[in-house]
Structure 1
Amino acid sequence: MDMAVIELSRLQFALTALYHFLFVPLTLGLSFLLVIMESLYVMTNRPVWRQVTRFWAKLFGINFVLGVATGITMEFQFGTNWAYYSHYVGDIFGAPLAIEGLMAFFLEATFVGLMFFGWDKMSKQAHLFVTFMVALGSNLSALWILIANGWMQHPAGAVFNPETMRMEVADFGAVLFNPVAQAKFVHTVSAGYVTASVFVLGVSAWFLLKGKWMPLARRSFTVAAAFGLASSLSVVVLGDESGYALTDNQKMKLAAIEAMWHTEPAPAGFAAFGIPSNVDRETHYEVKVPYVLGLIATRSLTGEVTGITELVDQAKVKIGSGIIAYDAVETLKTDAGNPAARAAFEENKANLGYALLLKRFVADPRKADAAAVDKAAWSTVPNVPAMFWVFRAMAGLGFFFVAFFAAAFYFATRRQFGRRWFLRIALLIIPLPWIAAELGWILAEIGRQPWAIEGVLPTFLAASDLSVAQLWTTIAGFTLLYGTLAIVEVRLMLESIRKGPEPIAEPGDADGPAPAGGYAPIAAE
């Protein structure tokens, strides 16, 4: 396979996935913020909360439509750009995606229409139930997609069938309750809640700075501050849980994130700073915090975090075992009843994927020499400098959001909505949670390389037989289309924000001169 085709196929999928993920976090978070806001309307029966809910629902709807449109494209790419991947693991990977479409997406799509057009056609309680079902559908959709993605990271519950030459489901429960998928789901959903909270708080800050729609702005600010604080804390805690999941299931990814080239005595230290080098295979100017990595990764003072070099040595052993499994499969193709080949396959089948890594260097893995084995083993190491710095940027943003929402919650509880410096910060940082979310996906997907399916199918074997010209044409087409959609979406969002909420007539909550006592648009600090 031409590696240019592989890299361009990866680039195209990365562009469409990262673009799609611009809409997903806001959908996840806004859906439950709408539930909170409408619950307050139902409990208090105050029209201002209806106004608040409907305003943010309008922005949710714009974002929801773009998310659906961009997500459908990705479904087709598995067949167009990754044909062998679809053939090899489609029986497992396709099941969660099918359930997502049949259960979660249709649930979400059915109730979203009722949510927008049912305000005056059903009771407040019934409409709140509809809004909750939209939120549930959005989060269930994320669950099934992340189960599929988690299986790519940790392929539990599946076996290779030498008769069909495909991976098949052996235990759907193991696929469903995959520990990597569970950690990814709760972490990703919490990140979506943070994204929506920053968005709501930032727009509310703009209203407060302009002195517009103050009742809506104050209430939205308060809800977003509380929800955002809880969500940002959960992101940090669940991120720690994700690190713990890597210890057992993706050791190479963990070692690359820490640029740990050699195993250290337990408990390992956390590299606060360093300059990793793929050429030298060491980290220069490293500054370590003792014990922290060992505590995070193993929850103990005695657990060991394996280094990159030692993991490469383990990969060499797995490659040797995989060659035996590969030879057995070739024998079983022509002599399905061969007992010796069947026994050899059963003993070594877990490492078959490691033999396939050799196909990048030799046509027949059984003819690989020591140099080819060494290259294949080192190919299991992802881009260490990228992993190292992407993780630290993402983690740094996570801790920043905790501090930011703690301050926002303090100001909201003290009814101090006139802190101009804080409102400006809230407005300026609106893009940051999207940056953090995109960094998280980059970390997850770069960290899995060279595997399309961890330990099972190398990425360079998964792609379709396409030409470089075809890929550049489609990349250009997607860039043009998605760029146009981005402009349309941003303009619609900005226009909706500029127009503000629908008017209401409620004594004490109508826009106009603010009463004294801290409710002025921007009071003196």
Structure 2
Amino acid sequence: MGELDVVILSRLQFALTAMYHFIFVPLTLGLSFLLAIMESVYVMTGREIWRRMTMFWGVLFGINFALGVGTGIVMEFQFGMNWSYYSHYVGDIFGAPLAIEGLMAFFLEATFIGLFFFGWNRMSKVKHLMVTWLVALGTNLSAVWILVANGWMQNPVGAVFNPDTMRMEMTDFVAVVLNPVAQAKFVHTVAAGYVSAAMFVAAISAWYLLRGRHLDIAKRSMAVAASFGLAASLSVVVLGDESGYLSTEHQKMKLAAMESMWETEPAPASFNIVAWPNQSERRNEFAVHVPWAMGLIGTRSISKEMPGINALVDSAERRIANGMRAYAALERVRADAGDREARELFAQAWPDLGYGLLLKRYRDDVQNATQAEIEAAAFDTVPQVMPLFWTFRAMVALGFYFIGFFAFAFWLVSTGRLEHSRRFLKVALWSAALPWVAIQCGWFVAEFGRQPWVIEGVLPTFYAVSGLSVLDLVISLLVFFVLYTALAIVGFRLLLKAIRKGPEEPDASGVQVAPDAPEAHAGHAALAAH
């Protein structure tokens, strides 16, 4: 039980820091492109109001970016602190994209952000616009490499286990980078970030319109947010469908749990709109089906069946049995490195070694596991169905809400009715946090649905933690909670102060100077410290 407490606390700490960090990341991804769009209009038209818009939203971007940096740096150190065996086991593969992200994308982003803030009166319009687009490019390149690393955890390709070093080693870097799961996660994640930024701009613009302040900037910002948000929200749904289809190929158990599909569905599989899963009895108390829908989403056909949880548990039993053979062969190789027969046996069975390691939760001598222990380990491959099922549906419902919201906003802007629709403006204001709710739901589904694996099919989560005590983890968890909460409060106060102040108004000559507010310097100080 003590070991499981260490695992739970380690997972909780990483989840806490990751979810705090991802409050700021989506807004950074989306606002960077919105700034580039606004400044492009300024350069093309020469209208000063678009420069003012870019500078105002740029201040909010800078505050958010600084908070993202502060909350994100610690996460990479946690791999060594709380997940040291994970770092040893897959460091050759996982470390490569993280290093590229830090050396190339992040420094590109941070360098050009400095030029963005301090270069307004020192560079030509075109050069500054190039800087702004490079900020957007660097921001999204950061996301590429992080999601390549995360995608490999979901679908470990381009790597093999080396019995001599006792770790996974990369064999094909291109396969890791072009991993279809990673690519689908990237486009889906950044599109969700674009939705969050569009809603952020729309909500603040709605607040200004309701109060009758900065109307010229608010109306234009709402127009940009409505157009950008509509395209992004449509993309999220389409790209989310692609992620679901890839789960059918690479993460069948996650998909079955998300749909509370206990029994194999004959083609074409139906979709459970509502269900009440009973994990202990491996069935649903009740369910409302839509015929054919899951087959079309999950297999893009009407002729392929979809395996249910119970069938996948049976498959896991077979893989565990093969993993036991791999483990036994590995023990022989470690005892005698020249045992060719053992090496051949291991080469055939090693892809299921991770399934054999699931038995480590029940006994150390894996090769002597009983049938009851094999069955228990096989059922461990089933994540908790109830939270996955409902969290996924909350995310999907919000995705369709965003499409309707931005479509209606686009119509109001196009017909000149925006200022007169106070009810919609209030809805926009109160919808500000909803993209973050959807994004956190999405990450919960992605990461919680992968359990019990820290690397799908390769390394069980409980096997990857560091040898820390419960007290160590409780203390560090409390420290991180207090620190991250304080950062979030400070960040939100800075954002609210900048929003209440609003855009800088031009002086009598119509000249707008670069902002010199304390909020902007908060972002600059964090960048300089980094």
What is the TM-score normalised by the length of structure 1?
0.96
**Contact 1:195/1:433, CA 8 A, preserved across alignment:** yes
**Contact 1:357/1:458, CA 8 A, preserved across alignment:** yes
Q: Distance in 2 between matches of 1:448 and 1:293?
A: 20
- Aligned residue for 2:265, secondary structure, equals coil
**Deviation at 1:324?**
0.8
**Deviation at 1:243?**
0.4
**Deviation at 1:506?**
9.1
**Deviation at 1:140?**
0.5
Unaligned runs of 5+ in 2: 513-530
Number of the residue aligned with 1:49:
50
**Contact 2:245/2:298, CA 8 A, preserved across alignment:** yes
Number of the residue aligned with 1:372:
373
Residue correspondence of structure 1 range 196-207 to structure 2 within 5 A: 196-207=197-208
The percent identity for this pair of structures is 61
Number of the residue aligned with 2:522:
none
Change (3 A) 1:243 1:150: same
Q: Distance in 1 between matches of 2:285 and 2:132?
A: 53
**Deviation at 1:128?**
0.6
Q: Distance in 2 between matches of 1:423 and 1:222?
A: 13
Residue correspondence of structure 1 range 325-340 to structure 2 within 5 A: 325-340=326-341
* Residue identity opposite 1:492 in structure 2: L
Number of the residue aligned with 1:495:
497
Number of the residue aligned with 2:318:
317
Q: Distance in 1 between matches of 2:146 and 2:416?
A: 40
Q: Distance in 2 between matches of 1:280 and 1:373?
A: 18
- Aligned residue for 2:187, secondary structure, equals helix
Number of the residue aligned with 2:250:
249
* Residue identity opposite 2:135 in structure 1: V
**Deviation at 1:508?**
11
* Residue identity opposite 1:226 in structure 2: S
Number of the residue aligned with 2:428:
426
Deviation per CA, 1:359-418: give whole Å up to 9, x if none: 001111101000000000000000111110000000000000000000000001112122
- Aligned residue for 2:449, secondary structure, equals helix
Change (3 A) 1:507 1:299: farther
1:482 counterpart (484, 496, 516) = 484
Residue correspondence of structure 1 range 437-452 to structure 2 within 5 A: 437-452=439-454
Q: Does 1:240 align with 2:250?
A: no
**Contact 2:409/2:418, CA 8 A, preserved across alignment:** no
Number of the residue aligned with 1:465:
467
Q: Does 1:225 align with 2:226?
A: yes
**Alpha-carbon RMSD:** 1.3
Deviation per CA, 1:277-326: give whole Å up to 9, x if none: 11121112200000000001111111221110111111111111111111
Number of the residue aligned with 2:61:
60
Q: Distance in 2 between matches of 1:54 and 1:414?
A: 28
Residue correspondence of structure 1 range 107-126 to structure 2 within 5 A: 107-126=108-127
**Deviation at 1:505?**
5.6
Q: Distance in 1 between matches of 2:305 and 2:57?
A: 48
Deviation per CA, 1:152-185: give whole Å up to 9, x if none: 0110111000010010001111100111111110
**Contact 1:267/1:295, CA 8 A, preserved across alignment:** yes
Q: Distance in 1 between matches of 2:330 and 2:300?
A: 40
Number of the residue aligned with 2:8:
7
**Contact 1:48/1:509, CA 8 A, preserved across alignment:** no
**Contact 1:78/1:85, CA 8 A, preserved across alignment:** yes
**Deviation at 1:264?**
1.3
Change (3 A) 1:74 1:155: same
Unaligned runs of 5+ in 1: 511-525
**Contact 2:258/2:388, CA 8 A, preserved across alignment:** yes
Q: Distance in 2 between matches of 1:325 and 1:159?
A: 13
Q: Distance in 1 between matches of 2:504 and 2:511?
A: 13
Q: Distance in 1 between matches of 2:173 and 2:377?
A: 31
Number of the residue aligned with 2:519:
none
**Deviation at 1:509?**
13
Residue correspondence of structure 1 range 339-418 to structure 2 within 5 A: 339-418=340-419
**Contact 2:381/2:452, CA 8 A, preserved across alignment:** yes
Q: Distance in 1 between matches of 2:428 and 2:175?
A: 42
Q: Distance in 2 between matches of 1:224 and 1:474?
A: 40
Change (3 A) 1:293 1:66: same
* Residue identity opposite 2:164 in structure 1: E
Change (3 A) 1:45 1:154: same
Change (3 A) 1:372 1:61: same
Q: Distance in 2 between matches of 1:290 and 1:184?
A: 28
Q: Distance in 2 between matches of 1:218 and 1:505?
A: 21
* Residue identity opposite 1:64 in structure 2: F
Q: Distance in 1 between matches of 2:178 and 2:385?
A: 29
Residue correspondence of structure 1 range 73-88 to structure 2 within 5 A: 73-88=74-89
Q: Detail structure 1 runs of 4+ shifted over 6 Å in the superposition.
A: 506-510
Q: Distance in 2 between matches of 1:432 and 1:150?
A: 25
What is the TM-score normalised by the length of structure 2?
0.95
Q: Does 1:172 align with 2:173?
A: yes
Number of the residue aligned with 2:280:
279
**Deviation at 1:71?**
0.5
**Contact 1:47/1:506, CA 8 A, preserved across alignment:** no
**Deviation at 1:443?**
0.5
**Deviation at 1:10?**
0.3
- Aligned residue for 2:102, secondary structure, equals helix
Deviation per CA, 1:81-113: give whole Å up to 9, x if none: 000000000000000000000110010011000
**Contact 1:270/1:290, CA 8 A, preserved across alignment:** yes
Change (3 A) 1:226 1:404: same
Q: Does 1:456 align with 2:458?
A: yes
Moved more, 202-211 or 495-504: 495-504
Change (3 A) 1:159 1:374: same
Q: Distance in 1 between matches of 2:234 and 2:511?
A: 33
**Contact 1:35/1:135, CA 8 A, preserved across alignment:** yes
Residue correspondence of structure 1 range 21-32 to structure 2 within 5 A: 21-32=22-33
**Contact 2:207/2:429, CA 8 A, preserved across alignment:** yes
Change (3 A) 1:262 1:121: same
**Contact 1:232/1:402, CA 8 A, preserved across alignment:** yes
Deviation per CA, 1:343-372: give whole Å up to 9, x if none: 111111110100000000111110100000
Deviation per CA, 1:99-144: give whole Å up to 9, x if none: 0001100100110000000000001111011011111111010010
* Residue identity opposite 1:481 in structure 2: L
**Contact 2:266/2:304, CA 8 A, preserved across alignment:** no
* Residue identity opposite 2:456 in structure 1: E
- Aligned residue for 1:448, secondary structure, equals coil
